[in-house]
Structure 1
């Protein structure tokens, strides 16, 4: 079942990211550490800490987070290309009680790296629902390659870590009456950002507290997988479109 959903999702998502395949500025040489304090979004209750050690385009990523929905996949990404900030409740432009992916993109930008547990980490895997952590108490560690554009965004201060998936009503599953901005057949809980933190240069070089295990329960939460897979193409498309719009506005302001 999951293969039937995931394969067309990846194929379609690849077409949605022509802007993110171009090479960017050369990555900064040498090893540097960056840290993010993850704050809760959309009343998720999720918080955490992340540490990234970047050596050229090789990133060692450690994330510790809590307060997420247990047994459901939580997509997590490096975002880049916008303001390098996290949204606030004021970004709920339509007043539906949610800061949606569309409303948040101007703050944190498009997907640059998908922090999957195994395999591909490109934007094509933005919602590879069988390869994201499913733990409520998340502990993640992986060494992976990022693109030169993403590496440059760390140095520029515009890289942001975002975790998705919110059980806002406490029902134990992704549901609710407010539907996703990415696909009206999905509940907003399935795709909304749950925790966010800008990645700032760190002088500490220390890992987040707690054990670091790759991913967590990649085969768990299968009841949530179909809903997230349907929204994958819409998620990556909305992120790319939002970044283009933000850049056009910046160019207009400078004109």
Structure 2
């Protein structure tokens, strides 16, 4: 009888712990990530920017800003991830066509397929990867994007927090005439010129440092990207403050 009671007690104790263990597992992927968006090699873009993605379970909040993009034109933007990808931005050696530019197919081995479409409204799945009417149009060449509570799969959430996801903003003006045109068609949609879908700027997401963003790789500090970095640091501090408040509240209850 005592043995039976002991076994039952142990089993009950294990069962009682399951919700807490589950909660711990669900929260294990939570975190803040950041990326410095730099010009994609070979594409002649002079833009730069930052992106921040906060993971909360199977939802993400995204903030992104950039300058120097083709003004007043739609810029498709996505989070990319592929298990077989290199989890990075393209290299010059990815130019499989040998034409001196990087299109979306060339970039695939580096950053993988679309997993989140960073549209301003509506659907955010890969199906909206070319929903040009719902992406930011970069007024004056400046992109400013913010959207919260985007649903993602657990695999995508884990990829983001593990530094395996890449943010890519598309739209290149190869001939410098201020619009998307040219005889070469997009490898994604032949009704569009390749300029509309070629990757412009790119950055791999990684865990956000407590002290703010590292420009890295010899990146220069300009008034524009200084402001973007300050924005990132401010949001991270706010997130840290919220966490501290939650922890204090929990201790007070105890």
TM-score, length-normalised on structure 1? Answer: 0.67
Partner of 2:171 in structure 1? Answer: 165
TM-score, length-normalised on structure 2? Answer: 0.68
Aligned pair 1:88/2:91, yes or no? yes
- Looking at structure 2, the residues matched to 79 and 54 of structure 1 have their Cα atoms a distance apart, in angstroms, of 15
**For 1:15-65, what per-residue CA distance to the aligned partner results, in whole angstroms no more than 9, with x for missing partners?**
xxxxxxxxxxx8653631101011102112121111111111221111110
- Contact kept, 8 Å, 1:27 with 1:152, in 2: the verdict is no
Structure 2 residue ranges without an equivalent (≥5): 1-24, 214-227, 233-254
Shift in Å, 1:172 = 0.9
Q: Which of these two proteins has the greater Rg computed from alpha carbons?
A: 2
Partner of 2:30 in structure 1? Answer: 31
Partner of 2:106 in structure 1? Answer: 103
Structure 1 residue ranges without an equivalent (≥5): 1-25, 213-255
- Looking at structure 1, the residues matched to 152 and 91 of structure 2 have their Cα atoms a distance apart, in angstroms, of 27
Give the SS at the match of 2:188.
Answer: coil
Shift in Å, 1:182 = 3.0
Shift in Å, 1:147 = 1.8
C-alpha root-mean-square deviation of aligned residues, in Å?
2.2
- Contact kept, 8 Å, 1:71 with 1:134, in 2: the verdict is yes
Between the two structures, name the one with larger relative contact order (CA 8 Å, sep ≥ 6): 1
- Contact kept, 8 Å, 1:29 with 1:55, in 2: the verdict is no
Change over 3 Å in CA distance of 1:192–1:30 after alignment to 2: closer
Q: How many residues align?
A: 187
- Looking at structure 2, the residues matched to 151 and 210 of structure 1 have their Cα atoms a distance apart, in angstroms, of 25
Partner of 2:181 in structure 1? Answer: 175
- Looking at structure 1, the residues matched to 30 and 133 of structure 2 have their Cα atoms a distance apart, in angstroms, of 31
Q: Counting helix residues as a fraction of each chain, which structure ranks higher?
A: 2
